[in-house]
Structure 1
Amino acid sequence: MSNQEPRRLNAAHLLFFVIAAAAPLGFSVGTIPLALGRGSTGYALAVVVTAVVLGIFAVGYVAMSRHISRRGGLYEFVTAGLGRSMGTGAAFMAAVTYACAATGAVGVLAVLAGNFALDTFGLDAPWWVWALLGAVVMGILGVLNVELNARLLGVVITIEVAILLIVCTSVLVQGGAGGLTLDPFKPAVLFDGSVGTTFALAIVAFAGFEATVIYSSETRDRARTIRRAAIGALVLMSVLYAYVSWAIVVALGSSATVEMANANPVGVFFAVTDRYVGSGMRHFVELMVVFSWFASVLAFHNATARYLAAMGNDGLIPRWFAVLSTRTRAPWRSSVAHTALTIGAVLVTIALGADPFLDLFVLGSSPALIGIPALEIAASVAIVVFFAKDRRGHGVWEVLVAPTVAATLLAVFLWQIVDQLDLFTGRGGRVNAIIIGSVAGAFVLGLIRGAYLDRRAPRDLATVVTPVDDLV
């Protein structure tokens, strides 16, 4: 260990990164209303079902994480199980997925920051001022100590969860618009709406859960830490998001929820807060929503930078991206590159006169709806193949049954998402084809790159896989 960078992160730190990427309060304000309006008021049930599926995926994921020694995330899983070419395809797809998630979220961050400044201080600045400011601060924190990032995110998350519990519990105590109802947990209600959109946004609710392994080289007691962080994140997020989405429907009533969510999605949670807690809390909630979305932007930015650094270290992209800061050990060049990309996306949005929420956020982050489940499917298949000849002390459930079931169920989710993508984006076939093509194109480009590298210099999987004895 003396020649390696120090391992600073524990399970709590990883949990903060995962929960921050999901942005509990920001997600409740900016995304859950989209799910209720464009998807189904049965979103609470979709969250629970998705958590169960991802829990099954986590069984094989945790088993495999014990044998992956590098910080390339799920693409190292795919490489170890399916070979370098497939792994490189997964790497390119992951980079696009996480980069789009972080960059797209800057759009909703800007809208919410602008609303807060206007409501609280009467400051009416253009949305792009807040977007550019958010991108710059993201870039600055991205090159600092990763443990500092985790601590900052932990403070924000604690306050976010407290706000959500106060608002939602107030709704239930007061009985809502028409009394308590369990309709949001009924299958008939779930399948009465757009199933693809509903499950797409349910999967996004857990975005970042699969990224814990990215920090493996910076994590103490890797196997145990990743297991605790992954399972803890699933349990916490599933309970919280099911509770919040249920409380919103109870607060407004089913038909009013859909109507308001489609007319003004960002205003739904604030309307519930004003009605059941009081307008006095509104300004504080608005401020914390801004911090929540920024925490999500930062978490996805950190994941993007580490994917790019791992790819650079493997020679999949220029090795320039792999350079770490001598002081903080953060992948500073990858961080700067993604920050530049985000600023460029904001400038293009300005030039086109596009909408920061409907275009930069909804369209810009749409590749993540496809890329995240696709990565999880590829990783599940890779887990089965990796352990096919040698289970390495694991049970059949861990390395065969669970990943097979997870891959099958996630494939159904992905099919529904692609089939009903237009209901989420609100755009025609050409725009949706570009979104799908961006993810598929990144994977194909990676396949080609991986095949080329394999011909030139086949990769030794010993550099990817760690013997079990070395992890005890």
Structure 2
Amino acid sequence: MSTLIDSKEGAALPEFATPSGENRPATLSGQLGMLEIVFTVLAYNAPLTVFTGMGVMLTLGNGLGAPVTYLIAGALILIFSVGFTAMSKHVPNAGAFYAYITAGIGRPLGLGSALMAMLAYGFMMTGVYLYAGIVYASLVKHLFNAEPLLWWGYSLILLAAVGVFGYLRITFSARVLTLALICEVLIVFVWQIAVAAAKGAAVVSPSWLTPSAVTSGSVGLALLFGVTCFAGFEATAVFREEARDPEVTVPRATYCAILVMAILFSSASYFLICAFGPQTVLERAAADPSQISLNAIGLYLGKAGLEAVNALLCSSVFACLLALHNILSRYIYCLGLDGTFPRTLATVHERHGSPHRASVVVTGLMLLILIGVIKSGFEPFGAFAILTGVGGYCLLLLLILTSLSVLVFFVRDMKGQNLWRTRVAPIVSFFLLSFVGWLATKNMEVLTGNVQVAQALISVVFGTLLIGVLYARYLKRARPEIYRAIGRQVI
């Protein structure tokens, strides 16, 4: 069995150490294909939701340069994914950030990053539940001119539905996500075709997309918004154990997901500008950034198209919640499998092949958190902006740590990989992502909408990272067999 050097201890250890005298539960397995994983990742990124929020990029970002910004952000994430996918074959488990950071820069920080990642996904999931309640309440009121439930009633119904899907086999969830995402992507492209047909070649030509347009406004904020739109692509590694041929499927799914998102976001923002014209779109976005995309849909697809988008927006947030639920439950499963969480949480359902106990835990925790938020009286949309903003910020920090981890991992042993994959790409992605992280820290108020609350939540997140590091140090002294298994489970 190959060995790794734990960067914190400097000793050669088994790559996937098993606690002595303990039997591991059955691990996950499955037959997820590339497209199923890609659609799961796209569901997490909720492309229709990104499209309906593009008014923010136009007003706070670099305006007419948005299409180029999305392509640049996609290129940055692609550079990161070079080292990410190169390392994936050497860390064959469902831990993603947790496993990568552990293998590269040590068990204490690896365990701390796992807890921080879980908290970040939890923040985002809670925020999306609040947003989903608003979206579903709005759709029901629009369709039936009635309000049978308050917004939080729909959030709780969605929680129950997501809990059921999360309990079942992942391939079942993947089919649901695939159907929802195909409809989302199709309607965005149908709208783009409608704009091109109505405006003609002369109007949709890129004559307005000049270098001065790309560098206008706040390029830094634009790049920040662009990169956060791609957060979640790392979920391709989370489903590694359930992939049909992980060494082939995971890299292909990663690159495919990033390319699809880059093309979709860039083309959608381009046609949004063409739909109104360069000058008019900036004026309308400044007047009401939250409605400009929906107005463009209604203008070119009519009332039927607008109602279809409203309905698909509901399926989009449901798909996003289901993807987040599946990711979070697999983090809990990994920690249970390694022994840092109770091993019962790593139990795999005999029939469904899912981490069903971890899934139930996620559902239970979300129920308690939602009840707390409802009773607290927080305004749901404002809380959504803060929670998802902080979650996205934390995932960005984890990308930075992972870039560093990939570099350190291959510095010790290139494992037959070339210089581009093991040195150049990780170094470039580390410095570029660090720059974006600095921008995020500097513009926290813009990212979250409330800098004081955001700073308090980020303190909780970094506190969680510290707790994970201290817990790992405790395990090193008190339970060394579990400490050795952190992030390196036998599969």
Tell me the TM-score normalised to structure 2 length: 0.87
Q: Secondary structure at the match of 2:291?
A: helix
- Matching residue within 443, 465, 472 for 1:450: 472
Report whether the alignment pairs 1:80 with 2:100: no
Structure 1 residues 235 and 138: CA distance shift in structure 2, 3 A: same
The farther-off stretch of 62-71 and 261-270 is 261-270
Structure 1 residues 114 and 264: CA distance shift in structure 2, 3 A: farther
Deviation at 1:72, TM superposition (A): 1.0
Deviation at 1:45, TM superposition (A): 2.1
What amino acid does structure 1 have at the position aligned with 2:370? V
- Matching residue within 169, 190, 195 for 2:193: 169
Deviation at 1:346, TM superposition (A): 3.0
What are the Cα deviations for residues 322-346 of structure 1, in whole angstroms up to 9, with x where unaligned? 2332321222222222223333333
Q: Secondary structure at the match of 2:48?
A: helix
Could you say which residue in structure 2 is the equivalent of 1:33? 55
User: 2:212, 2:462 → 1: CA distance?
Assistant: 33
Could you say which residue in structure 1 is the equivalent of 2:138? 115
Could you say which residue in structure 2 is the equivalent of 1:149? 173
Q: Secondary structure at the match of 1:388?
A: helix
User: 1:37, 1:331 → 2: CA distance?
Assistant: 43
Q: Alignment identity in percent? A: 29
Deviation at 1:463, TM superposition (A): 7.4
Deviation at 1:197, TM superposition (A): 4.0
CA contact (8 A) 1:86 1:447 kept: yes
User: 1:138, 1:193 → 2: CA distance?
Assistant: 40
Could you say which residue in structure 1 is the equivalent of 2:22? none
What amino acid does structure 2 have at the position aligned with 1:417? A
- Matching residue within 261, 264, 267 for 1:243: 267
User: 2:394, 2:365 → 1: CA distance?
Assistant: 19
Could you say which residue in structure 2 is the equivalent of 1:281? 305
Task: Show the 5 A alignment for 1:217-236.
Answer: 217-236=241-260
Deviation at 1:184, TM superposition (A): 8.2
User: 1:154, 1:66 → 2: CA distance?
Assistant: 26
Report whether the alignment pairs 1:47 with 2:76: no
CA contact (8 A) 2:78 2:255 kept: yes
Deviation at 1:395, TM superposition (A): 0.5
Could you say which residue in structure 2 is the equivalent of 1:409? 432
CA contact (8 A) 2:387 2:448 kept: no
Could you say which residue in structure 2 is the equivalent of 1:331? 355
What amino acid does structure 1 have at the position aligned with 2:237? V
Q: Secondary structure at the match of 1:207?
A: coil
Could you say which residue in structure 1 is the equivalent of 2:120? 97
- Structure having the higher Rg: 2
Report whether the alignment pairs 1:439 with 2:461: yes
Deviation at 1:183, TM superposition (A): 8.0
What are the Cα deviations for residues 124-159 of structure 1, in whole angstroms up to 9, with x where unaligned? 232111111111111111111100001111111111
What amino acid does structure 1 have at the position aligned with 2:132? L
Structure 1 residues 465 and 350: CA distance shift in structure 2, 3 A: closer
Report whether the alignment pairs 1:301 with 2:325: yes
Report whether the alignment pairs 1:382 with 2:418: no
Q: Secondary structure at the match of 1:464?
A: coil
Unpaired runs of at least 5, structure 1:
none
CA contact (8 A) 1:45 1:186 kept: no
User: 2:153, 2:376 → 1: CA distance?
Assistant: 16
CA contact (8 A) 1:64 1:383 kept: yes
What amino acid does structure 2 have at the position aligned with 1:392? K
User: 2:272, 2:320 → 1: CA distance?
Assistant: 22
User: 2:326, 2:467 → 1: CA distance?
Assistant: 23
Unpaired runs of at least 5, structure 2:
1-25
The farther-off stretch of 229-238 and 346-355 is 346-355
User: 1:86, 1:184 → 2: CA distance?
Assistant: 47
What are the Cα deviations for residues 326-372 of structure 1, in whole angstroms up to 9, with x where unaligned? 3212222222222233333333333233222222x111212222122
Deviation at 1:11, TM superposition (A): 1.0
- Matching residue within 112, 124, 129 for 1:106: 129
Could you say which residue in structure 2 is the equivalent of 1:19? 42
What amino acid does structure 2 have at the position aligned with 1:50? A
CA contact (8 A) 1:85 1:454 kept: no
User: 1:256, 1:358 → 2: CA distance?
Assistant: 28
Could you say which residue in structure 1 is the equivalent of 2:18? none
User: 1:15, 1:392 → 2: CA distance?
Assistant: 27
Structure 1 residues 266 and 107: CA distance shift in structure 2, 3 A: farther
Aligned length in residues: 462
Deviation at 1:82, TM superposition (A): 0.9
Report whether the alignment pairs 1:316 with 2:358: no
User: 2:385, 2:275 → 1: CA distance?
Assistant: 26
What amino acid does structure 2 have at the position aligned with 1:369? G
Aligned-residue Cα RMSD (Å) equals 2.5
